[in-house]
Amino acid sequence: MIKRIVSTVCAVVIAAGSMLGYQALAPAQDVSVVAQALPSYVEKTLPMDRLSGSNRYETAAMVSQQAFPKGSASVVIASGTDYADALCGNPLAKSLNAPLLLSEDKLLPAETEKEIKRLGAKTAFVIGGKGVISEAVRVKLQQNDVTVVRVAGEDRYETSVKVSTIMDQTRKSASLTAFFVSASDYPDALSVSAVAAIKDSPIFYVDKSGKLSDSVKNYLKSFKKKLGFAYIIGGSGAIDDKIFEELKPYFNESGRYGGANRYDTNAYINTAFRTIYKSKDVYLCTGSGFPDALAGAVLAAKDSAPLMLADRTVNDKQTEYLRNYENIKIGGKETLHIVGGEGAVANTAAQSVLMIEDASLRVNDGGKSATLAWGRNQYVTSYQILRDGKAITEITDPFRTTYVDTGITADASYQYTIKYNYTINGQKYLDTAKAELKRKMPEYKYIMNEVNTARLNSEKNNTPKYSFRTENAQGATSTNSYYDMRYLKTGDLATLEKFAREHFTNSMTKADKVAYTLNWINKNVWYGTVADGGWAILTAMANNGTFSYVNCIFNHKIGQCNCYNGALASMMLYLGYDAHLVMGYRGQVNGDGVITSKWQHFWCEVKINGQTYVMEAGNYGEDGDWMYLCELYKDVESSYTYTDGKKTKTGWHGYIKNGKVVL
């Protein structure tokens, strides 16, 4: 089974070390040819792992095992069910060089207890009061010979102050910077938790009104001098602008770091603090819950790496950050670490961080243009765009995912293909996707000029033979009274529909159907003359009222040039073309370009994209094989001037054979 580079990413995310199968091409082959060849296969490991336990407590324990494989003398324990006190614990854990584990409010989970024993921890810093983590948990810890230090205040504001105080004691000085986050929700605090830990700076809670609590004010006053910089995390909807006035007495400067939503804020923070990251690793956690990110931030801080929040996918701001500053690459040391199970961080989010999307193609109909959009992939060396099997452009920017095709008509259907061309470690790969721009044309379009209107309605005229003057697209005029010019009759539409049902397939384009009709007429229709009795048959049909171009050609397979091209024009009208039956003259020229003869003739003209093209059906006499697919034609404005009696006239004398003008 062929595995595609992007469709198997999901399998890779499930467990660390899973293998990804790529569809490989021999490096020396040309991409346009290789698509038809049997590919060879190689396997490559993506730089990705997932830390996920059966619950949040086991996930935190797994993070601890990776961050502290040799153990730790201390451990920070925070609530796994209430974010209020827990979120200010990450900087403390980093300051103590300790993991952060989670606890239930009244019970120390078995997963947490087991990890504490593995760590060999002797001191546990429990964040939050007895209402958050009960005395029963403290007793259980002490039974494991662990000294418990409860870090708690009267409320979450004071608890954040208590945490900062212990950090001051650890570093033996106050931090010059501090982070202020909303006390009403957790996402902004999650986004900045790893940054604050790396900078060894405390996180303080602030009310939505922007006013500092008394406990925070008293703590800041205790330094007797202004500190350096205050980072306000989140928009004004999270913390009111009053916060700036509140902070003035305590900090030299302050600034807001926030976006339109939690994910924009996350990208803004990672971009703003990118210079503090020493690792190219990225830690990915859910933005819809706090426990996994709470534990994962400790590992991110320990590695001096960014913490990214996402659920189903990363947004444009996060992508911009990844593209400009991270750009995780296959074969390098950079790694994506996912903290939490697939229910928390979807496989699509992992793909999105790696800037890999399934090979896909979408087409939006713009009339005379089509807008193509596809999935990006940072490993692509080029995207090749094909229309109806022919290459129309190649894009070498792996992050560009749109293209506007202006080389189409407004009434035709097209098949588009995109080829993802990869080169990884000298090896070439290919993936493709297709999309169709399908236009539904009316079954029967009466597209005609004034002359054709007269012809289409001529059966209403009681005179079977009549004279009229016609002017073709090239300006040639003539008057004729020898042909029955009735164009369509009642029942002709049913004949056209019957022919279409029996001969056309769904896979055929409009142009294919015209070409088929031309070939069918050329192979199957008898050109009736006086000598072979055909003229008598046509005359009889005219006399009994059954004569029409469509009936003669498609039902009785007999006709002359008016029938051949009248039937062809009818079929083209049925298919939606602006087709006309034109009466004029044909002629022959000798090698010197001198007109040697001329004769009355009928042909079909069709307008496509403002250009008029000549088409003729028929395979008879000295004229040989006639024209084929009209959409391949070049304009054949070939005409000549001749004298008819005392009048000088311009007539049509060229035709197309195998795509070339023949005089």
CB 601 within 8 A of CB 559: no
pLDDT in tens, 614-651: 677 764 433 333 332 222 223 333 333 444 455 554 43
> How many H-runs (helices) and E-runs (strands) does the chain carry?
21, 32
Which runs of E-coded beta strand occur in 26-86?
Answer: 40-44, 48-51, 74-79
Which runs of E-coded beta strand occur in 225-334?
Answer: 227-233, 251-257, 282-285, 307-309
- Averaged pLDDT for residues 395-424: 89
Structure token pair of residue 403: 């293209």
CB 44 within 8 A of CB 427: no
pLDDT in tens, 282-296: 999 999 989 999 889
CB 476 within 8 A of CB 649: yes
What residue has token string 């709470």? 294
Least Cα distance to 192 among 256, 270, 287 occurs for 270
Torsion sign across C-alpha atoms 656, 658, 661, 663: negative
* DSSP-derived secondary structure for 268-295: HHHHHTGGG-----EEEE-SS-SHHHHH
Angle at 506 (CA atoms; ends 363, 625), nearest 5 degrees: 110
Q: What is the pLDDT of residue 445?
A: 33
The per-residue pLDDT of the chain, averaged, comes to 77
Structure token pair of residue 404: 């506007």
Q: Per-residue confidence at 375, pLDDT binned at 50, 70, 90?
A: confident
Taking the domains of the chain in order of start, what are their residue ranges? 9-46+356-437, 50-353, 450-662
Angle at 202 (CA atoms; ends 200, 207), nearest 5 degrees: 155
Q: Inform me whether the pLDDT recorded for 29 exceeds 50.
A: no
d(CA 61, CA 294): 12
Q: Inform me whether the pLDDT recorded for 107 exceeds 80.
A: yes
Q: Per-residue confidence at 510, pLDDT binned at 50, 70, 90?
A: confident
Q: Per-residue confidence at 9, pLDDT binned at 50, 70, 90?
A: very low
Q: Inform me whether the pLDDT recorded for 423 exceeds 80.
A: no
Q: Inform me whether the pLDDT recorded for 457 exceeds 50.
A: no
More confident residue, 440 or 549: 549
The pairing of strands 427-437 and 468-471 is unpaired
Least Cα distance to 107 among 65, 148, 79, 144 occurs for 79
Q: What is the pLDDT of residue 462?
A: 30
Q: Inform me whether the pLDDT recorded for 481 exceeds 70.
A: no
Q: Inform me whether the pLDDT recorded for 24 exceeds 60.
A: no
Measured N-to-C along each axis, helices 156-171 and 89-96 cross at an angle, to the nearest 10 degrees, of 20
d(CA 106, CA 127): 14
Strand partners, 656: 661
| Burial degree of 406 (CB within 10 A; 0-12, 13-18, 19+) | exposed
d(CA 264, CA 257): 10
- Averaged pLDDT for residues 254-275: 93
CB atoms within 10 A of CB 42: 14
3-state helix, strand, coil in the chain (%, to 5): 30, 30, 40
d(CA 3, CA 88): 45
- Averaged pLDDT for residues 255-276: 93
CB 262 within 8 A of CB 188: yes
Burial call 497-523: b when 16+ CB within 10 Å, e when fewer: eebbeeeeeeeebbbebbbbbbebbbe
Residue at 236: amino acid letter: S
Q: What is the pLDDT of residue 34?
A: 31
Strand partners, 167: none
Strand partners, 51: 339
Q: Which CATH fold topology does 9-46+356-437 show?
A: Immunoglobulin-like (2.60.40)
Q: What is the pLDDT of residue 382?
A: 92
Least Cα distance to 388 among 438, 429, 442, 430 occurs for 438
H/E stretch holding 431 reads strand 427-437
More confident residue, 218 or 85: 218
Domain 9-46+356-437 matches domain 450-662 at the CATH topology level: no
d(CA 476, CA 230): 85
Report whether CATH 1.10.3470 matches the domain 450-662. Answer: no
Structure token pair of residue 27: 């490096």
Q: Per-residue confidence at 141, pLDDT binned at 50, 70, 90?
A: very high
Q: Inform me whether the pLDDT recorded for 455 exceeds 60.
A: no
HSE on the CB side for 485, CA within 13 Å? 27
166 three-state secondary structure: helix
Percent of the chain with pLDDT over 70: 72
CB 572 within 8 A of CB 540: no
- Averaged pLDDT for residues 554-562: 90
